[in-house]
Chains A and B, each alone.
Chain A
Amino acid sequence: MLSAADILDILATGATTRIEDPARVPAFAPGDKVVTRTLSPLTHTRLPRYCRGKRGVVVKVHGLYALPDVRAIGDEETREYCYAVRFDMRELWGPQGAATDSLTIDLWDSYLLPAPVEVTP
């Protein structure tokens, strides 16, 4: 059982699953266009439905973090790069989304694919 001193120590210190691993290079860099996968796991995910199968742009590389999808079912070891990915509101909500506005969400490697090259007919 945690004592008051234990819990205050934990809260003061904090904890993160983030690791540094210079040997692992992020798959994406800021400015890269990506498309989110249309995953529908029966277990936990941090890829909300509203941004599945959508085109966005990486705006920041956060670092290597635990992948919540597998951590939720017992895998404490796996780390993936997590990125801030920005979507135009119209990409998420169609023509009724605001053209000026955007939504940025943190997404892991497993959720992302490089955007296909757009071919104009």
Chain B
Amino acid sequence: MAGQHDDHDHDDHSHGDHSHEGHDHDHFHRIHSEEVDALLMSIADIEISARVKALEELLTQKGLVDPSALDAVVDLYENQIGPKNGARVIARAWADPVYKAWLLADPNAAIADLGFAGAQGENMVALENTADVHNVVVCTLCSCYPWPVLGLPPVWYKSMPYRTRIVRDPRSVLAEFGTVLPDSTEIRVWDSNSEVRYLVVPRRPEGTEGLDEAALAALVSRDSMIGVTEALSPEPA
């Protein structure tokens, strides 16, 4: 049953951040992934970690939560499941046109073929970036995110500034991530508000013709699979 919720049933955790919105709003005219992550963590850490710790102790004392189960979940998403999974999917799609066609047509099956499946990845859709179309994903209502391929979402993805601004002015927000697109590129923002989870297939960088899948995967960043950046360029030889 627990796995059957999607994130929206936990709307409260976004609302829990409301206390930060007003007075911190001015700091967020610019969104940059790492800066904002660091800033939000520094603000949120004290209050949130104290609240989490208090909740965890209470639930454990009442016998509602087994601490070893919590440890197992933390270990799963900190050490085992993360964007390296998604990078393998993208690298395979870049290397193998048949796999790419399968990924776009039947993403659940194509992703499961590489061994990735489970909670928050039950209904996947893959969005292909091209020279003409750039896809970017947000969850305006909370923080929905494809866990089996990307792990848990970064703090900025859950932040109100990202969630409110990307739907209104994606071109500026992408530029703040360093992604400056030609004016002619159509930006498609996807608001992930259902049980469907979206994975962006970034464009394969130029100069990667000779690379094997492992080398390709190293160029596929988490952010490029959310769609706020392009894939990394290879180091010049």
Residues of A within 8 A of B (CB): 1-4, 6-8, 10-18, 44, 46, 48, 50, 60, 62-63, 65-66, 68, 72, 82, 84, 86, 92-93, 97-98, 100-106, 108
Instruction: Report the minimal beta-carbon distance from A58 to chain B, rounded to whole angstroms.
Output: 14
> Could you tell me if B185 and A48 are in contact, using CB atoms closer than 8 angstroms?
no
> Could you tell me if B170 and A65 are in contact, using CB atoms closer than 8 angstroms?
no
Partner of A17, one of B4, B63, B185: B4
Q: B149 interface residue, CB < 8 Å from A?
A: no
Q: A2-B66, A16-B4 are in contact. Are A8 and B185 (CB under 8 A)?
A: no
Q: A16-B4, A17-B4, A106-B196 are in contact. Are A4 and B191 (CB under 8 A)?
A: no
Report A-chain residues with C-beta under 8 Å of the C-beta of B9.
72
Q: List 28 A-B contacts (CB under 8 A).
A: A1-B63, A2-B66, A3-B66, A4-B66, A7-B69, A12-B117, A14-B120, A15-B119, A16-B195, A17-B4, A18-B122, A44-B8, A44-B11, A46-B8, A46-B141, A46-B193, A48-B140, A48-B191, A65-B195, A72-B9, A82-B196, A86-B188, A98-B170, A100-B186, A103-B190, A104-B190, A104-B191, A108-B194
Bound Cα distance A10, B191 (Å): 26
- What is the total number of residues of chain B having a CB less than 8 Å from a CB of chain A? 47
Bound Cα distance A103, B207 (Å): 32
Instruction: Report the minimal beta-carbon distance from B136 to chain A, rounded to whole angstroms.
Output: 10
> Could you tell me if A11 and B194 are in contact, using CB atoms closer than 8 angstroms?
no
Instruction: Report the minimal beta-carbon distance from A66 to chain B, rounded to whole angstroms.
Output: 8
Bound Cα distance A48, B164 (Å): 12
> Could you tell me if A11 and B3 are in contact, using CB atoms closer than 8 angstroms?
yes
Partner of A14, one of B118, B141, B196: B118
Interface residues of B in 40-83 (CB under 8 A from A): 63-66, 68-69, 71-73, 76
Q: B125 interface residue, CB < 8 Å from A?
A: yes
Report B-chain residues with C-beta under 8 Å of the C-beta of A92.
167
Q: B168 interface residue, CB < 8 Å from A?
A: yes
Residues of B within 8 A of A (CB): 1-4, 8-9, 11, 63-66, 68-69, 71-73, 76, 117-123, 125, 140-141, 148, 167-171, 183-196
Q: A14-B122, A101-B186 are in contact. Are A7 and B191 (CB under 8 A)?
A: no
User: A-side binding surface: helix, strand, loop or mixed?
Assistant: mixed
3 A-B pairs with the lowest CB-CB distances in the bound complex, closest first: A106-B194, A15-B4, A4-B72
Q: Which residue of A lies closest to B65 (CB)?
A: A1
Partner of B194, one of A6, A7, A82: A82
> Could you tell me if A3 and B171 are in contact, using CB atoms closer than 8 angstroms?
no
> Could you tell me if A11 and B76 are in contact, using CB atoms closer than 8 angstroms?
yes
> Could you tell me if B8 and A68 are in contact, using CB atoms closer than 8 angstroms?
yes
> Could you tell me if A18 and B123 are in contact, using CB atoms closer than 8 angstroms?
yes
Among A4, A13, A46, A102, max chain B CB count under 10 A is at A4
Partner of A10, one of B66, B119, B185, B188: B119
